Amino acid sequence: MNVSVWYHPWLNDSDSFYIRTSVIEGFEDLLVNDLIIPGTWLWDVALIREVFIDDDVDRILKTAISPIGFTDKSCWSHTSVESELERLTLEAEFVTGFVLNVLSQLNGEKVDEFVMVVWRLWKERNSIVWTGSCADTTTVVSLAHQFLHDWRAWKSRLVQQISVRNGCEAWHCPSHGSLKLNIDAAFFVDTLEMGIGLTLWDHNGGHVYSRTMSLSGLYALDEGEDIALFEALTWVTELDLRSVKIEMDAKLVVDAFNSSRLDSISVFGDIIEACKQKFCAHPYCSVGWVDRQANFVAHRLARIVRNSPSPFTWVELPFNVDSLPHTSCSC
C-alpha cells in the first residue's frame, strides 16, 4: 500500500526493478496502489498509458498483481534460471565454457529449465535474422517455462507407472461424505493474464460446482500455481466445506505446502505461508499431487477463462465430461 512508483524497486523485470520514466510534477507521491483499479486486481491501463513512457507501460502491465492481501515488504526476486544466467555469464570466457559451467552448477529441474531457455534464445535469434523482431527477456523466459511445462505434461501421459510421494496417477472418487477439489492454472503470455480452474466432485464422482477466474499479469509458473491453491482454499472457506481433498498437478507447490520448512523471503514462500494460514481453519482437508492427465478437467477449465466472465461459478460444466480421463476411473 505504501510502495512508491518512482523510488522503490517494485517491477517484475530482471533488467531493472525501477521505473525509467522521469518523475512527473504533481505525481511525486504516486503509489503503486494508485495504479490499480479500486476493488479489483486490474491495472488502470488508461492512467498508466497517460503517465509513463511506452517501455514502462509494457513492464508495468507484465507485472502480476497478487490477489492475496500481503503487507508490502521487500523480498528476493523470483529465483529462476535467468538469474543464474546473468551471474554465470560474467564468469565464462567462451560459450562452451559458459554452458559447461552452468550445467555443472545446476541439477534436476534447473537443468531442464536452462536447456529450454537456451533453446528459446536460439529461436529468438532466428526471429531477429528472419523477421527482425525479438521478444523481451521476461517473455522469452516465460515462453520457455510454458513450453517445458507442456512438454512435461505430454511426457507424463506416456508413463504408465508413477510413484510420487503425496500423489497418484489416476483420478479416484473421494471417500463417502467427502468432496474432492481439483485445481489448475493456465498462463497466457500473449494477453498477459492467468486463468484458474477449480472443480468440485462428490463421492460418486458427480460434478458439484466449478469456478473459473482470471488475473492480470505475467506470473511465474510456480507462483501462479501457488495463487490457484490460495483461491481454492478461499473457495472452500466461502462454501463452508468440511472434508475436502484438494488435488493439483504442481508437485513443487504440493511439496512446499506439505513441508514444515519456512520460506518468508520470496514471493513463492509468502504465498505458501498464506495458504498454510488459511488451511488451519480446515482440519479435515488435505492437499495432494495428482498426475496432469487425471487433473484434465481443472486444466481445461483454467483455459476457458478467456471466453467467459471472471470470476464465474458453473453449476454445470461448460464441456462434455464423458470424454475426460477421470470418468473412466473407478470410485
Q: What gap in Å lies between CA 185 and CA 307, rounded to an integer?
A: 15
Mean pLDDT on 152-169: 51
pLDDT of residue 163: 38
Q: What gap in Å lies between CA 319 and CA 266, rounded to an integer?
A: 38
pTM score, two decimals? Answer: 0.60
pLDDT of residue 74: 57
For residue 92, pLDDT over 50 is answered with no
Most confident of the ranges 143-152, 185-194, 202-211, 264-273: 202-211
Mean pLDDT on 227-249: 94
Instruction: For residue 159, name the pLDDT band (cuts at 50, 70, 90).
Output: very low
φ, ψ (nearest 5 deg) of residue 258: -85, -5
pLDDT of residue 64: 78
79-89: buried (b, 16+ CB within 10 Å) or exposed (e) per residue?
A: ebbbebbeebe
Mean pLDDT on 29-48: 87
For residue 199, pLDDT over 50 is answered with yes
Q: What gap in Å lies between CA 187 and CA 195, rounded to an integer?
A: 6
For residues 77 and 60, the answer to whether their CB atoms sit within 8 Å is: no
The length of the chain is 331
For residue 211, pLDDT over 90 is answered with yes
Q: Which of 91-95, 138-142, 184-188 has the lowest mean pLDDT?
A: 91-95
Q: Shortest CA distance to 201 belongs to which of 309, 39, 324? A: 324
For residue 169, pLDDT over 70 is answered with no
Instruction: For residue 299, name the pLDDT band (cuts at 50, 70, 90).
Output: very high
Mean pLDDT on 215-237: 90
Instruction: For residue 145, name the pLDDT band (cuts at 50, 70, 90).
Output: confident
Mean pLDDT on 135-158: 76
DSSP state of 32: G
Helix (H, G, I), strand (E, B) or coil at 190: coil
